[in-house]
Chains A and B, each alone.
Chain A
Amino acid sequence: MKKITVYSTPTCVYCTQLKNYLQENKVEFEAIDLSQNMEEGQKLIAKTGQMGVPQTSIQELDENGEVKKEDFVIGFNVEQINSLLGIS
């Protein structure tokens, strides 16, 4: 099972495009608005070293809900999103 989180800001159009793209492809995700939640922002920047949005976390969970693996996609990178989520 996969848990997808999109980190974005409200004025970022690439974030909007990314979220629309996921919705069009019926991918469920949680959206975190970093302009309202800098604490999450700091955690994210510490993890990825990237001070830009959008960033997408794709976590693979085991049957107990523990994170087995986490991938990050930086920016609206359709190719990477497609390959990690199996969208064709």
Chain B
Amino acid sequence: MKYDLLIIGGAAAGLTAGLYAARRALKTLVISKDLGGQVSTTPTVENYPGFIEPQGGYDLMERFKKQAEKWGSEFKMAEVASLKKEGEIFKVETSVGEIEARAVILAFGKKSRHLGITNEGEFDGKGISYCVTCDGPLFKDKVTAVVGGGNAAVEAAEILSKIARKVYLIHRGDKFKAEAVNVDRIKDRDNVEFVLNTTVKSAHGDGMLTHVMTQNKDGGEKKLELDGLFVEIGFEVKADFVKDLVETDEQNQIITDPKQQTKTPGLFAAGDLTTNPYKQIVISAGEGCTAALAAYEYLEQGTASLDWSSGAT
């Protein structure tokens, strides 16, 4: 499969890039393991300009996709395994085969941060979850805990308090970063208990999670019996597969110039995975637009050429 432009990631940045690239008549593929990324997990979006009524996050992303496709951008659900540049051409191994592209835009956003404790992977989906809106309803009348101190954690505890028998909210600090209005909403609920100045050290069980060991700031360890542990400690960029091709900051975010160009010519980055300080849908869309126009300029001026006679689909 050969393309002028391959865009990795199918949310606000990637789909906007797809729209702009297709309108410049670039043969463009957006490849993504899901549609809409983090936006899709947001029940309502109320600040995307032009939409006065609240939009469902997933619905909004579907609109982005349809608009990109209307102008000729292709969309494929698949995963990317590796990316390298050979001469002027990018070669990308994916779950649907090798793709060659003259330019690439990285727009795969951020993923839920994991706790990083031993056994975390073993209980993923067996009591440990990173998506309360997905898995929360399965914990009806169970004992659960949420880890984190931001809005996402407090909102997760709020959702669970209406489903589960008990909700511990475990936070390493003594104050929540979440907005006060969110904390106030749950603090007096009978089944919610705040566990402050505490971190989760390890997870245990026999097939399914049965308990975790926690440690408070004075070093005291405690066993907490649980059916479910929901991790809401923020997001991170998982960009190891391109680490030789891009510069990153201390948070692993990809550094670009004002045209979204990374240190590798022809490789651009846009959206939440860049160093922009505000992670917003409209900013991701704007960066996606810039990246696509800059990629077009790069391809017009550059010498990256593909032999379209073979393998072009």
Residue numbers of A with Cβ under 8 A of B are: 9-17, 21, 34-35, 38, 41, 45, 49-54, 74-76, 78-79
Contact = CB atoms under 8 A, between A and B. Distances in A.
B58 A17 contact: yes
A11 B133 contact: yes
A35 B137 contact: yes
B34 interface: yes
Nearest to B227: A51
B143 to A, nearest CB: 13
Q: 4 tightest A-B contacts by CB?
A: A35-B137, A12-B134, A11-B133, A52-B125
Contacts of A14: 34, 131, 134
Interface of B: 33-36, 40-41, 43, 57-58, 77-79, 95, 125-127, 129, 131, 133-140, 207-208, 228
Contacts of A21: 77
B138 A34 contact: yes
A12 B135 CA distance: 7
A50 B137 contact: no
Contact of A51 (B43, B77, B95, B228): B228
Contacts of A52: 125, 129, 131, 134-135, 138
B58 A53 contact: no
Nearest to B35: A17
A51 B138 contact: yes
A11 B43 contact: yes
Residue of B43, B136, B139 ringed by the most chain A CB atoms within 10 A: B136
B78 A78 contact: yes
A35 B163 CA distance: 10
Contacts of A34: 137-138
A14 to B, nearest CB: 6
Contacts of B33: 78
Contacts of A38: 140
Nearest to B94: A79
A76 B36 CA distance: 13
Contact of B40 (A13, A35, A74, A79): A13
12 contacts: A14-B131, A14-B134, A16-B58, A17-B58, A34-B138, A41-B138, A49-B207, A50-B126, A51-B138, A51-B228, A52-B125, A53-B135
Given A17-B35, A52-B138, 16 more contacts: A9-B135, A12-B134, A12-B135, A14-B134, A16-B58, A17-B36, A17-B40, A49-B207, A51-B127, A51-B138, A51-B208, A51-B228, A52-B125, A52-B135, A53-B134, A79-B95
Contact of B134 (A15, A49, A79): A15
Contacts of B58: 13, 16-17
B136 A74 contact: no
B137 A9 contact: yes
A12 B131 contact: yes
Contacts of B208: 49, 51
Contacts of B126: 49-51
A76 B78 CA distance: 11
Contact of A11 (B78, B127, B137): B137
B82 to A, nearest CB: 16
